[in-house]
Amino acid sequence: MIQLQNPSPLAALDQANKSLASHPKGGISAPDQVTVTAVTHWTDKLFSFQTDRPPGFRFQSGEFAMIGLVDDEGKAVTRAYSIASPHWDDHLEFYSIIVPDGPLTSRLRHVQIGDKIILRPKTTGTLGLARLRDGQRLYLLATGTGFAPFAALIRDPEIYERFEQVILVHGCRTIAELGYSQKIVADSRAHPLIGEMVTRQLHYVPSVTRENFTQTGRITTLLADGKLASSLSLPPLDPAFDRIMICGSIGLNQDIAAQLLEKNFHEGNLSSPGDYVIERAFVGDGI
Ligand code: FAD
Ligand code: A2P
């Protein structure tokens, strides 16, 4: 973590980001390789890892980049990965699935501290605050590794300035698959600079579908039957007050978008900020 002495969290984080990324976004100075500095395996299919951050590598919380490895023939195998660390942090973090025969993750799963990873300098994505109109509450709805962009956003002070309440819902099959989001939320609440905002404004709702747990059920069901809002003593979803970011499988994204359209929510983009934005957590049907 960056050592910050400025008493204002926003000013301090902004200052840190500027010193980390003194080059313009997409500048040519960012090298295409980073070094792995930490690895944690959460289940046999999920792991996270950290890397150093090239001095010129600049991004917005919630964006993704292309990362990868060089294969045995010397060819780069890269895939889109959400950056799970916030824009102000001095390291980069990624949260990954393991696809047993996947061209990238069958090898990426074995990365260790000191290994080199390809990191392309360009970052992009639709899960940006600039695409949303102002509102009172921000819902972040994720399944599986779709939590990764929200791991960055819930640590970005700007969302707590823009929204009074942030409701993070993470849906998984099993309790063990919630391990990473539980840890990120706990660490964020205890963080010396953002902890107070997170504790006061973030509601974390983990839910599982294939085991007994304190909260069970698909996100789509929790939204449709109103249980999500009522369990937090919040009013039903309303485009006048609520903004939503979604990141999951194509099926989940489509099902939630259909519910939102029925309630007159409009998708946002940069030229016309709206009520919700969507990003795919991956391409394909899942494993
Ligand atoms: P691939 O050949 O890429 O995938 C094989 C199959 O595995 C896919 O068809 C799909 O059915 C399934 N699959 C792939 N990724 C996932 C996943 N994440 N969850 C469930 N099933 C999956 N993956 C991450 O692990 N973490 C991220 O932060 C992440 N961010 C992404 C952001 C964007 C915008 C997109 C489009 C994809 C993202 N992905 C992420 C998916 C990632 O790009 C790769 O598909 C994944 O790493 C597997 O690579 P692979 O080469 O091993 O297998
Ligand atoms: P379920 O267990 O009922 O399939 P996956 O690991 O397949 O990506 O799923 C992650 C979580 O997303 C699981 O809890 C799964 O529920 C849920 N899910 C999968 N598809 C949808 C969908 N179309 N709508 C809502 N939730 C979904």
**65 contacts 122 by C-beta, under 8 angstroms:** yes
What's at 238, amino acid-wise? D
Per-residue pLDDT of the chain (287 residues; tens, 9 = 90+): 333 334 344 454 445 444 433 333 333 334 599 999 999 999 999 999 999 999 999 999 999 999 999 998 999 999 999 999 999 999 999 999 999 999 999 999 999 999 999 999 999 999 999 999 999 999 999 999 999 999 999 999 999 999 999 999 999 999 999 999 999 999 999 999 999 999 999 999 999 999 999 999 999 999 999 889 989 999 999 999 999 999 999 999 999 999 999 999 999 999 999 999 999 999 986 55
Beta strands in 173-281 (DSSP E): 202-208, 242-248, 276-280
Ligand 1 probe mutation, 47, 60, 95, 97, most atoms within 8 A of CB: 97
* Pocket around ligand 1 at a 6 A CB cut-off: 64, 79-82, 95-97, 99, 102-106, 144-145, 148, 279-287
**78 contacts 120 by C-beta, under 8 angstroms:** yes
Beta strands in 103-201 (DSSP E): 116-124, 137-143, 165-172
Gap between the Cα atoms of 54 and 64, Å rounded: 16
**Contacts (Cβ under 8 Å, ≥6 apart) of 65:** 59, 80, 81, 83, 119, 120, 121, 122, 123
Centroid of ligand 2 to alpha carbon of 260 (angstroms): 18
- Ligand whose nearest atom lies closest to the CA of 147: 1
Closest CA to 36 of 115, 125, 136: 115
Q: What is the pTM of this model?
A: 0.92
Closest CA to 111 of 192, 41, 12, 185: 41
Residues in the chain: 287
Centroid of ligand 1 to alpha carbon of 109 (angstroms): 13
Which residue, by CA, sits nearest to atom 4 of ligand 1?
102
Task: Report residue 121: phi and psi, to 5°.
Answer: -75, -20
Regarding beta strands 137-143 and 242-248, do their DSSP bridges make them parallel or antiparallel, or are they unpaired? parallel
Task: Give the number of other Cβ atoms within 10 Å of residue 10's Cβ.
Answer: 17
